[in-house]
Structure 1
Amino acid sequence: MTIASAMTFHPRPEAGEATPWAFPAPTRSVLPNGLTVLRCDRPGQKLVAVQLLLDAPLADEPAGLDGVATILARAFNEGTATLTAEEFAGELERAGATLDAHADHMVLTLSLDVPASRLERGLRLLADAVSTPALPADEIERLVANRLDEIVHELANPSRRAAFALYGELFPADDRISRPRAGTADTVKGIDRAAVADFYAAHVRPATATAVIVGDFSAVDFDAVLADTLGAWTGTPAEPSTAAPVTADDSGRVIIVDRPGSVQTQVLIGRVGPDRHDDTWAAQVLGTYCLGGTLTSRLDRVLREEKGYTYGVRAFAQPLRSAADGSGRAMLAISGSVDTESTAPALADTWTILRDLAAGGLTDEERDIAVQNLVGVAPLRYETAGAVCSTLADQVEQGLPDDYQAQVYRRLAETDTAEATAAVVAAFPPDRLVTVLVGDAAAIAGPLKDLGIGEVTVVSA
């Protein structure tokens, strides 16, 4: 007997028409005080994202005081001429805002998130932080002590230790890029209030700064708010800093940072290559994604799925100092970890993958999957004001045009398999890779010498 269902089924929703999407375009302007502003209206984004980029490159840190830019960045949250650190934190909380800061090779960046309804209040606190920071001596001492504690943990972290070793190997010792961004114990311990105040006075001014502001401004008089807050910030005129060319020695070699008794090996393989100003960047991104950008990439398919050496391995390109004249470079790297006994076999398979890639190239299927993952999900990636703001700020830091990201997506979609293959093969030549391994040298050094991937050197952790 058939029993009729009493349920009423509603029609299944059908997908609507696809609508064109492009990365949001900002409006650029310059305030009377010299501050450059990139405004990007995003209706419905009630949490406004702000990034203020200060022209304070790490290369300008005084000799022997690596890390002073990082201490200054953290000190911006420690009060102003009119507010103590506690009062400043309280005002941020009442505004529903957060304020963070960090120093990188090109710029020092302050990041503010604030509800659109309290935008003026948030921007006023940001303006006070950069125009009249208190820089109290006791807070500077605390920040220095905190940083010294961090360094101990960084050196104990295999991935961070590998990065320190790779940068130290690739770049000349007199180039700031070869040393940890936030300084070492030897340099940080010499930082005091005077050093922080001097670095602030030398580099923080509106004339060389850029503010990127993204969100829904329909309920505020944006121009008036900006004029009364960041627009009221004053400072001396100055020319923007220029980046020195990046040079590197990527002759093939292996560096083992010895960790006796370690049960796994942290692997970081790298060299330098074209950055975003180069015409091959989009193809390089696409090819690198096929090599190691996701679970279905070649590296993961072999090292993780077939061999079980690792939980995951990734290939990526990370811009370093950038310059429109082409002297900027990017770090091209492969990163992951394997159990100690699998170190040599995993590296042997990695080099086989790279050589096979050069010999046979990528497949159209690999290229299509990469385009879908990189371009197809872009509208979701940029749903929030914060994501849009971060990308626009990144473009400013790297000296790129305002429509750069939109053009990259177009270029990625147009790049064919042959172009992507040529770019990734050029990015990762097997005989021009510096390999850093953090692990038990006694267990892994011997087998590595037979691989033919470069001279093996052991250094202490």
Structure 2
Amino acid sequence: MTFHERPEPGPATPWAFPTPARGALPNGLTVLRCHRPGQQLVAVELVLDAPLTAEPREQEGVATIMARSFSEGTDTLDAEAFAAELERAGATLDAHADHTVVSLSLEVPNSRLERGLSLLADAVRAPAFPDAEVERVVANRLDEIQHERANPARRAAIALYAELFPADDRISRPRAGAAETVERIDAEAVRAFYRAHVRPATATAVIVGDLTAAGDVDGILERTLGAWQGDSAEPGVPAPVRAADPGERGRVVIVDRPGAVQTQLLIGRLGPDRHAPEWPAQVLGTYALGGTLTSRLDRVLREEKGYTYGVRAFAQPLRSGAEGQGRALLGISGSVDTPSTAPALADAWQVLRTLAAEGLTGEERDIAVQNLVGIAPLRYETAVAVCGTLADQVAQQLPDDYQAGLYQRMNDTTTEAATAAVVAGFQPDRLLTVLVGDASAIEEEVRALGIGEVTVVPA
């Protein structure tokens, strides 16, 4: 029997995260373009300089209501007609408000790019914000708040942010607003926020896809987003992120949920963000600590002890400033059955102390690099993924070539540097721990651990 020769892999194809071409339209709108041959679905993200810190205190959540109302009609189309036109173009349009910006995301086939961009342009150029539609969006948000408070993971996040940041900082309160502020929002409040903060001069459009197949992109942009007019203005400067006084040791907050059979864990503190030189090492170290099923936390809490289906460590950038005044939330999250709450915390603290004493291994560092850097070409196969990362760079005031440089810096990071970063970020005696669970069943054992002053609050 004759067998064909087994094929051998060819040489690896060089890859780097794409750097966009930067330009501007006559109306002041900044445009970042990234040509991705063969990508028939074009991704567009419009980044608006409308931070949450600009919301009136008594109407927090208005940025989110505005974002969700952009697709509820324009000066020429009502909400139903606008949705029908999106469907005819084969397009989708979403919007959300984050700490630093409001973003609108469009996906459309490149053969219908002009129609998709026309609808996006109309949504920001002349939104109708009809009274009835805004009232419906507000009502939906108020219903959503009830679900958030009933969700253990979301309730833990609300408690963590309230404890971690000063009460006078917008970031300490729910991103999409609380019930007492959202219920004060009406269509006029949305229109006022729009007039004050939405203009092309401070906005950036990111467009990614096969732009050659899309046709005359310059002309399309001029006829669509270029028709959007507004006052000139300078971009805002994000306020520095401050932590509340952590005291001399860690803290524990138990959000009491009587009868709960599980405890939701959320452990965190503030650390460096992407502007800091140690960020690549922080990313690698955090991944080795709790980024995958083979990480240290999962090996102990899931594989050895069976406390949980999974626990993760993460580093989440928050409100960043160009001068490095932004911070990131360094956290550990997961859930365990109620009787395992204190044992799981004790073992998690032991993992952190062992990490500080022994450091990461070279194998752990290599696995982190392989899983974060090695799979990047797969992660960014789609135009949507590339567009989202470029838009995130805009929101975080990072240079256009940041992501490409990040992968190189992670690849060059030593085991010692990754160890130093994760040990500095996750200091066991400086962590804030939020537990959402049955206080009567877990409080006494948690106090006995000595990991911080314990406070019990109602759910």
TM-score normalized by the length of structure 1 = 0.98
**Count of residues paired in the alignment:** 455
> C-alpha separation between the residues in 2 aligned to 1:411 and 1:11?
39
CA distance in 2, matches of 1:12, 1:79: 59
Q: Which amino acid aligns with 2:56?
A: P
Correspondence 1:80 to 2:78: no
What is the aligned partner in structure 2 of residue 120 from structure 1? 114
Partner Cα distance (2:4, 2:222) in 1 = 54
2:342 corresponds, among 344, 349, 358, to 344
Deviations along 1:64-103, whole A, 9 cap, x unmatched?
1110000000100101000010000000000000000000
Alignment of 1:259-338 (within 5 A): 259-338=257-336
Question: Following superposition of structure 1 onto structure 2, how do residues 65-76 of structure 1 map, counting pairs within 5 Å?
Answer: 65-76=59-70
Which of 88, 95, 99 does residue 105 from structure 1 map onto? 99
CA deviation profile, 1:403-444 (whole Å, cap 9, x unmatched): 000100000000010000000000000111000000000000
% identical equivalent positions: 75
Query: Please, what is the CA RMSD of the aligned residues?
Result: 0.8
* SS across alignment from 1:114: strand
In the alignment, does 2:223 pair up with 1:228?
Answer: yes
Residue 30 (structure 1) aligns with: 24
Gaps of 5+ in 2: none
Give 1:336 shift.
0.3
Residue identity in the other structure for 2:193: F
> How many Å apart are 1:319 and its aligned residue?
0.5
1:95-145 alpha-carbon deviations (Å, 9 max, x no partner): 000000000000000000000000000000000000000100000000000
AA at the equivalent of 1:232: A
Query: Which amino acid is the alignment partner of residue 149 of structure 1?
Result: D
Could you tell me which of 236, 240, 243 is aligned with 2:238?
Answer: 243
Cα shift readout 1:295-349 (whole Å, capped 9, x = no counterpart): 0000000000000000000000001110121211000000000000000000000
Match of 1:355 in 2: 353
SS at match of 1:112: strand
Q: Paired residue for 1:420, among 418, 421, 426? A: 418
Q: Of the candidates 4, 15, 27, which is equivalent to residue 21 of structure 1?
A: 15
**CA separation in 1, counterparts of 2:385 and 2:342?**
39
Alignment match of 1:203 (pick from 188, 192, 197): 197
Which amino acid is the alignment partner of residue 314 of structure 1?
Answer: R
State the 1:450 CA deviation. 1.1
Question: Is 219-228 or 245-254 further displaced after alignment?
Answer: 245-254
Which one-letter code corresponds to 2:309 in the other structure?
Y
Residue aligning to 2:439: 441
* Long gaps (5+) in structure 1: none
Pairing 1:181-200 to 2, within 5 Å after superposition: 181-200=175-194
AA of the residue aligned to 1:369: I
- 1:25, distance to aligned residue in structure 2 (A): 1.1
CA apart distance, 1:452: 1.1
Mapping of 1:127-166 within 5 angstroms? Answer: 127-166=121-160
Q: Classify the secondary structure of the residue corresponding to 2:428.
A: coil
SS in 1 for 2:50: coil
2:87 is matched with 93
Q: Report how far residue 63 of structure 1 moved.
A: 1.6
The answer to whether 1:451 aligns with 2:455 is no
Whichever residue aligns with residue 296 of structure 2, its letter is R
Name the amino acid aligned to 2:182.
V
What does residue 406 of structure 1 align with?
A: 404
**What is the CA-CA distance between 1:14 and the residue it aligns to?**
2.1
CA distance in 2, matches of 1:363, 1:140: 54
CA distance in 2: counterparts of 1:12 and 1:222, whole angstroms: 46
Amino acid at match of 1:29: G
User: Match of 1:54, as an amino acid?
Assistant: L
Report the 3-state secondary structure (helix = DSSP H, G, I; strand = E; otherwise coil) of the residue aligned with 1:431.
Answer: helix
Structure 1 window deviating more from structure 2 (247-256 vs 74-83): it is 247-256
Aligned partner of residue 175 in structure 2, secondary structure: coil
Can you list the C-alpha shifts for 1:216-236, whole angstroms capped at 9, x where unaligned?
011211111111110111000
2:135 alignment partner AA: E
Q: CA deviation at 1:369?
A: 0.5
Residues 1:59 and 2:53 aligned together? yes
State the one-letter code of the partner of 2:59. L
- Three-state SS of the structure 2 residue aligned to 1:420 is helix
Select 1:46's aligned residue among 33, 40, 54.
40
Give the aligned residue type for 1:242: V
Work out the CA distance in 1 between the residues paired with 2:28 and 2:4. 59
Q: Matched residues in 1 for 2:151 and 2:89: separation?
A: 37
- Kindly state the Cα deviation for residue 10 of structure 1 after the two structures are TM-superposed: 4.2
Cα drift, residue 460 of structure 1: 0.2
Question: Which of 244, 252, 271 matches 1:254?
Answer: 252
CA shift for structure 1 position 53 = 0.3
Q: 2: distance between equivalents of 1:13 and 1:183?
A: 58
CA distance in 2, matches of 1:333, 1:395: 22
Helix, strand or coil: the match of 2:448?
coil
The SS at the match of 1:52 is strand
Deviation at residue 9 of structure 1 after TM alignment: 4.8
Instruction: Work out the CA distance in 1 between the residues paired with 2:65 and 2:324.
Output: 31
Q: Which sits farther off after the overlay, 14-23 or 70-79?
A: 14-23
CA-to-aligned-CA distance 1:366-386 (integer Å, 9 cap, x gap): 000100000000000000000
